[in-house]
Each structure stands twice: as C-alpha cells, then as structure tokens.
A and B are shown apart, each in its own frame.
Chain A
Amino acid sequence: MGNVTPNRRRTMQRGTLDMQMEGDRSLRFKRFFEAPPGLVFDCLTKAELVQKWLTGPPPMQMVECEIDAKVGGSFRYAWSGPNGEHRFGMKGTFKEISVPDRIVHTEVFDEDWTGGETLCTTLLIPQENGTMMDLLVQYATPEARAGAMQTDMKDGMSQSYDKMDGILTGMPA
C-alpha cells in the first residue's frame, strides 16, 4: 500500500475488498476495517467471533468452528445449507502467529478441491483509523488456483448468486 492516493484510500476505507491474482498461483485480498488490529485479529482467531461473520453466503450457515490459535494448533470450519445440504468443510494448521499483526496458516478443503494445501499469510497493518488486512493466498499450483475458483463456485456458492446480483449492482465496478 505504498502509494495510496487520498482518493484511493477513501475507497478502501469504505470497506471495499481488493482482490488480485498475483503471480501464477496466488490471490491477494486487501480490505480495510474500521477497528484496531487487535480487534480484527480476535475476529480472525476466536471461534465465537469467526462464526459470527464467516457464515458463507446465505442461505449457507456455519455449522462447525473450532480454532486453536497457537503455532502448531489447528482449526476446522464447516458450512451447510439450512437443511444440512451442500455441506463442505475445511481445516488447517497455524504456522506462525504474531499478535496482533501476522498469521500464517495452511488450509485445505475436505474434498481437497484445491489440489493440496494453500498457504495463507495474513498481515494486519495499523492505519490512522483502522486496520488494513493484507491476505495472500498461495495455492499449491497454478492449476490449483484455477481449480479452486472453479469448484468453490460449483459447490453451494452458486445458489446465492441471485441474491449476489442485487448486491453487485449496488457495488462500484
């Protein structure tokens, strides 16, 4: 975020998710939150908080959320539709944790759609009135990135597209 123009920064502060393909097998997410890094860190690492927001797109629900946020500790998430349909889960292990600004963890879906573990590096960068989250998701291979994009959509996500369309129309391009 070296040369952020004031205008660009305002956009980011409204809370727009910036997502870029990086290299041949990574995706980088950037998102500003109006809260200090410590709070964002808690929301990423404490199960009771994670399950409040990482619900999956409606009508999906989060049905499993266990987090042991320490180096070598693991986590497990699962989601399903309201009647238990389209269930999918993921798990991972924490490789590095530095409160409140850095988390490195692996993750893999139960059906391993992504052709091996992905490595996620989350940085929480303090800013004037909030936190910039910088998340780099590195897939095992370039094919895995393409595969992840393909299968995420096929499994459950696509149901919510109708609702998503409404959101998309209200969203800046």
Chain B
Amino acid sequence: MVIHEDSLDAIFGALADPTRRAIVARLANGEATVMEIAAPLSMSQPAVSRHLKVLEKAGLISRSRRAQQRPCRLEAEKLQQVNLWLERYRAIWEMQFRQLDVLLQEMQKNSVDAKKKRADIGARATRSGKKSSRSRNTGSVSKRSQERKNRNSVNESNPFAKRQASTAADKPISKRAGAKTRAQTNIGNEKKGIGRMPQ
C-alpha cells in the first residue's frame, strides 16, 4: 500500500484532537449517528458535526444517507495509513540503530584486536625471556631479569594496545563526519570508554 503524504497531513491533523480521537474510537465499535456520537461527549450536535466534517475530509469516516439520518462509519483503510506511517518512522530509527550496531561492533573488534596484540607481544616477550635465561643458565639472577623483562613488556604493551584501539576508532570519525561537523568531545573520556570493553 502506498502512503499518500497529503492525505497523511489531513489524517494526522484530524487525529491531533482528543475529541476526534474519541469519535474514531467510538466508531471502531460500529456505525453511529451524530446524536449517538454526541451523547457521551457532552457536546452540542453542531460542535460534533464540525469534528465529523474534519474526519470526513481526511477520509477517516464516511457518512451514508439513511432516511433522515446520516450514520458515520470508520474507513479502516485510511486509519491503516497511520500504522504504515508508524512503521516507516520505526524504520528510520531502525536504520540509525543498525549504524549504531556497526559502530559497537567496530569498537569491540578494535578492543579484541588490541588485546590480541597485547597477548602476542606478551608471548613474544616471554619466549625471548626464556631464551635469555637458557643462554645465561645462571640461577636466581636470570630469573629476576626474566621477571623484570616480562613485567616491562606487559607495561609497554598496555598503553600501546590502548593507543591502537583509540586511534583506530578516532580515524573514521573525522573522515566520515564531514567537514562541517563541529565535534566537541572529551577524547580522554572516549579512550576511557574504549578501554572499558567487555571480555
């Protein structure tokens, strides 16, 4: 089904009034005459008629002629346009949130990559540490130096990994945001955010 924007204007205009929404709700239960509609609304018939005219113009209700009466009935297809519109509004947001999915994935992937790198560096450092201990083959001194080496390698790899994660995440921002964008972000905070990754 196609959404007609002009008719949507009229539909939403018509529904942007509590009395008219009440009338629509009443008519959802079946046809009714002006008198029947007016009764629970504590409103004069001319006032109700004015509201009915707006609804009729929007195509939300139709009025037939039956003897002296003109019973009103709801045009469900028109009301369906509202649902369709709501679905499109939802779809716009869905699209935005899918982009957020991608961003979250990227951020988490960067964090995993950084962790991997850190682990690789740690493993390499450990291997080289073993080599040096083997070559020296002297008890407690080499052990201590090995420990120092390992400690150093871990200390070095942490900030390195963090830098990797944050620069990787920073890059596309400036590129994708466009020249007009004025971003005022605490970069330190962002790094903290990226550092605060899940396992």
Contacts and interface: CB of A to CB of B under 8 A. Distances in A.
Nearest to A131: B104
Nearest to B106: A52
B90 interface: yes
Contacts of A150: 8-9, 12-13, 16
A161 B88 contact: yes
B36 interface: no
Interface string A121-137: 00000000000000000
Contact of B93 (A19, A67, A143, A160): A19
B43 interface: no
A153 B177 contact: no
B183 to A, nearest CB: 5
A4 interface: no
Consensus secondary structure, chain B interface: helix
Interface in B76-114: 85-105, 107-108
Contacts of B100: 33, 40, 43, 53-54
B39 interface: no
A167 B95 contact: yes
Interface residues of A, number: 53
A28 to B, nearest CB: 12
Interface string B168-195: 0010110011101111111101100110
Interface of B: 3, 5, 8-9, 12-13, 15-18, 21, 85-105, 107-108, 170, 172-173, 176-178, 180-187, 189-190, 193-194, 196-198
26 contacts: A15-B98, A15-B101, A16-B94, A33-B100, A34-B104, A35-B198, A39-B108, A43-B107, A47-B183, A47-B184, A49-B173, A51-B183, A52-B172, A52-B176, A53-B99, A54-B99, A55-B96, A57-B95, A65-B182, A65-B183, A66-B183, A147-B12, A153-B5, A153-B88, A164-B95, A167-B94
